[in-house]
Amino acid sequence: MKNLKYLIYRDGDYYVSQCLNIEVASFGSTIDEALANLKEAVELYLEDDNAASNFHEVGEFMLGEFALHA
């Protein structure tokens, strides 16, 4: 069993869910739907034997925001 870290953010009318351990993302109309869709997408992705080698552990992580004058 692998413990996966993810983040969910709002983008317009949808919630986007993104796995931090592998490059898989999904979305849904609600947070629960976005998470359920992400779990399904990750399970499908990991069915490929080669995909398991792309998994990397994520220890501590931080979500932040900063401003740029561009």
Torsion angle of the four alpha carbons 1, 55, 62, 11, in this order, in degrees rounded to the nearest 10: -100
Count of C-beta atoms within a 10 Å radius of residue 44: 11
pTM attached to this predicted model: 0.84
Amino acid occupying residue 29:
S
Whether the CB-CB separation of 34 and 17 falls below 8 Å is answered with yes
In the prediction, which pLDDT does 24 show? 96
For residue 23, give the nearest of 41, 10, 2, 35 by alpha carbon. Answer: 41
The 10s digit of each residue's pLDDT in 23-41 is 999 999 999 999 999 999 9
In the prediction, which pLDDT does 21 show? 93
In the prediction, which pLDDT does 23 show? 93
Distance CA 52, CA 30 (A): 28
